[in-house]
Amino acid sequence: METVASEMEWQSLSQKALQGECLTIEEGLAVLEADNDEILLLMQAAFKVRKHYYGKKVKLNMIINAKSGLCPEDCGYCSQSIISTAPVKKYTLLDKDTLLSGAREAMARKAGTYCIVAAGKGPTDKELDQVVDAVREIRHTMPLKICACLGILKDDQAKRLAEAGVHRYNHNLNTSRANYPSITTTHTYDQRLETVEKVKTYGMSPCSGVIIGMGETNQEIVEMAYALRELDADSIPINFLNAIPGTPLEHAGRTPSMKALKVLALFRFICPSKEIRVAGGREVNLRTLQPLSLFAANSLFVGDYLTTAGQDVTADHQIIEDLGFEIELNAL
């Protein structure tokens, strides 16, 4: 009888999500604090919502680290920050040919979206010129969607990126408003919100997500999901901290695999129609349970991340095939 009651409880959350109702704080906490024995029932309920909006299709995204290790910001999770002592490569913005080569690699990996990422508070005019030039050529020569992640934008910069053909702009909230000052001090939570609202104004699809495992409480995780629902982000990357030696968060423990699955289910319930992407740190935190993540999420990053390695893309393709899912080509 207890199992039946639990199944009904999780199914009631999927019904709420499908009806456009938002979970309460108490319901969100119940998801995150569910007994591990109920994980399959919980993921089944999340899959009901995921299947309604996305069927069995999986969107693939690939990142290119277009500028590395020269960031003046002090983000505690990042190996490229000014306060990090991690031994990362340092280089200025990649040239056009290298960015084009990355786009071709994204296509070879069956990624529909190519993400051009450059560490920094925001792009210089010269850097923006280089990105715009590359984006225009990619748009004319390849059937790829393009996402840019270049930091805080000025109005004219957002306008130029949109006019060049950037489909999506990423600027993660990363953590809760309350936890933000303990993670970053060189810019504010509100500046991030403002940038996401700005890209919406210029017609780019807003992409914004979180990093789980930076000292936030369960209630703050629920609040992060609420914030992204209110922001109406189209794409929500869920990163799980991969603690890098040389960063302030180097001693943070990994998120348990079961907890990671519960987080993904929570975001599916609270942001039911949005692209939920299993992002950075999935290999380290989900480990052998990675396939289960796609019962809540409908999107993956393939290949390497910014300064950390991902798994071989053939393993990701195999996971999708073995689940009976299919890659959604050229999907935003």
Is 271 annotated as contributing to ligand binding? no
Mean pLDDT of 280-295: 96
- Amino acid at position 114, single letter: Y
Q: Is 149 annotated as a binding residue?
A: no
22 is an annotated ligand-binding site residue: no
Q: For position 1, what pLDDT does the model report?
A: 39
- What pLDDT does 93 receive? 93
150-166: average pLDDT? 96
DSSP 116-182: EEE-SSS--HHHHHHHHHHHHHHHHH---EEEEE-SS--HHHHHHHHHHT--EEE---BS-TTTHHH
Interhelix angle 189-201/155-164, rounded to 10 degrees, is 40
Q: Cα separation of 150 and 143, whole Å?
A: 22
CA–CA dist 121, 136 (Å, integer): 24
pLDDT: which is higher, 57 or 121:
57
pLDDT at 3: 55
CA 250 – CA 303 distance, rounded (Å):
23
What's the 3-state SS for 47-102?
HHHHHHHHCCEEEEEEEEEEEECCCCCCCCCCCCCCCCCCCCCCECCCCHHHHHHH
In degrees to the nearest 10, what's the CA dihedral of 41, 47, 52, 58?
A: -170
End-to-end CA distance of the chain: 43
pLDDT digits (tens, 9 = 90+) for 161-192: 999 999 999 999 999 999 999 999 999 999 99
Residue pLDDT, tens place only, 309-328:
788 899 999 999 999 999 99
pTM for this structure?
0.95
**Which residues make beta-bridge pairs with 237?**
277
Residue 113, SS3 per DSSP: strand
